Structure 1
Amino acid sequence: MMKWIPVALALGLSACSSTPETTYYQLPAAGNAAPASGLATGSRPAVFVQHVSVPDYLAGNGLVYQSSDVKYVIAASNLWASPLDQQLQQTLVSNLSAALPGWLVSASPLGQQQDTLNVNVTGFHGRYDGHVVISGDWLLEHQGQIVKRSFALTLPQTEDGYDALVRTLAKGWQQEAGDMANAIRTLN
């Protein structure tokens, strides 16, 4: 009888230890994107969102959290559902479409009469002080003219947790898309 006690104890302990559940996150896009009209591409302004790049520390699957002024933690169980650069590009197209009604905004080339937008994201993470950081720069080519602007947003995260982190990052990205849309509009 005594020889079964270690086996039962081992089974009991293994039942208590479980691997953490993996959670996947997707950035929500603007809910009020303008519907496409029947106008031909040439009769309305067009923006080609060519590329959104992220640095290596953001290019992995895990959400990133800055735990001190010099330390970053990449989550092992809280992951992006698809690559972050793709999510940023897709939501940027959606957010710009909402902010530029009557414009054609796409992640595919649209023809010769288009503005071309490239974005370099250098920060897209949560921070130890309860804020999120969204930073980088963007480059817009408009009729041979090149405009480059930097951005640096720090927004308070109103709740704890990864859900709130992703929602706040999405809110900041939408805000930056609005700033890009204003700059694009002034050039046209």
Structure 2
Amino acid sequence: MRRHVPGVPLQRWLLVSALVSAALIAGCSARSSAEGATHYLLTDQPTGSEATATGGEGLLRVQRIELARYLDVEGIVMQTSDVAVRSARNHLWAEDLAAQLHRDLAQRLSNQLEGVRVLDPDQQLRAPEREIMQLTVTVDRFQGRFDGYAVVGGKWRLLDSEGEIQAGERFQREQALTQDGYPALVESLKDAWTSVVADIADGLGGAWGR
């Protein structure tokens, strides 16, 4: 039986213990495996029209998101202690996590950055008249944590056409789970990621002098 950690509220401890227990059971129970896994989509499709660039406005290429190796798995990751992580066997992402994060990031930036055209990694333009800036995002935290929080962390960088860094910073968001279970964890991860993207948009806007 897991011991209560001093300083962590008992209610929150019980909530996270239930998540950890679910991960352990999913990994060990043949019966659960036979019943099939549950698949989760991280994000809704954002609404709104895509921004387009005209005149002297900006072009931004959003590179594919780089995940820490332990996050590049099918199972939703739970941090079970300060030093241990475990990926669930029966609670899986419905699509590659990096692909979901990239698509959501690009669409939200298109909606939030006025006058900036957002390009995919492989999208080519015929002799663009303006410099194409590059956005890189690395995600090294995207997991549930034993104290009852969803944690999203990493860094972003804005580079010019010569590869020189023009702006960027690390990000870290911790979103409390509202109830037991993996659906609640996914919702909290989603909320934390949405907050991160909003801050990236603000940082990019500042880099363009808006």
TM-score range for the pair, normalised by the shorter chain length: 0.7 to 0.9
| TM-score, normalised by the number of residues in structure 2 | 0.73
Identity, in percent, stands at 32
1:182 and 1:176, CA in 2 relative to 1: closer, same or farther beyond 3 A? same
1:72 and 1:48, CA in 2 relative to 1: closer, same or farther beyond 3 A? same
SS at match of 2:63: strand
Once the two structures are TM-superposed, the CA of residue 24 in structure 1 deviates from its matched residue by: 1.0
SS at match of 2:199: helix
1:169 partnered with 2:189: yes
Q: 2:145 aligns with which of 121, 124, 127?
A: 127
Once the two structures are TM-superposed, the CA of residue 148 in structure 1 deviates from its matched residue by: 3.0
Once the two structures are TM-superposed, the CA of residue 32 in structure 1 deviates from its matched residue by: 3.1
| Aligned counterparts of 2:54 and 2:89: Cα–Cα separation in 1 | 44
After TM superposition, the structure 1 = structure 2 runs for residues 24-173 of structure 1, keeping only pairs within 5 Å, are: 24-29=39-44, 31-33=46-48, 35-36=49-50, 44-108=57-121, 109=123, 111=125, 112=128, 113-142=131-160, 144=162, 145-146=164-165, 147-173=167-193
Moved more, 139-148 or 22-31: 139-148
Is the contact made by 1:25 and 1:80 (CA closer than 8 Å) also made in structure 2? yes
Moved more, 107-116 or 60-69: 107-116
Is the contact made by 1:25 and 1:166 (CA closer than 8 Å) also made in structure 2? yes
1:23 and 1:178, CA in 2 relative to 1: closer, same or farther beyond 3 A? same
| Aligned counterparts of 1:110 and 1:43: Cα–Cα separation in 2 | 19
Which stretches in structure 1 are left out of the alignment for 5+ residues? 1-16
Q: Rg bigger for which structure? A: 1
Query: Aligned pair count?
Result: 170
1:74 and 1:148, CA in 2 relative to 1: closer, same or farther beyond 3 A? same
Is the contact made by 1:62 and 1:75 (CA closer than 8 Å) also made in structure 2? yes
| Aligned counterparts of 1:180 and 1:114: Cα–Cα separation in 2 | 17
| Aligned counterparts of 1:184 and 1:70: Cα–Cα separation in 2 | 34
| TM-score, normalised by the number of residues in structure 1 | 0.80
Is the contact made by 1:47 and 1:104 (CA closer than 8 Å) also made in structure 2? yes
Match in the other structure for 1:9: none
| Aligned counterparts of 1:94 and 1:73: Cα–Cα separation in 2 | 30
Q: Deviations over 1:94-134 (max 9, x none)?
A: 22123223422232345452221011110000011110111
Is the contact made by 2:149 and 2:176 (CA closer than 8 Å) also made in structure 1? yes
Once the two structures are TM-superposed, the CA of residue 29 in structure 1 deviates from its matched residue by: 3.7
Which stretches in structure 2 are left out of the alignment for 5+ residues? 1-30
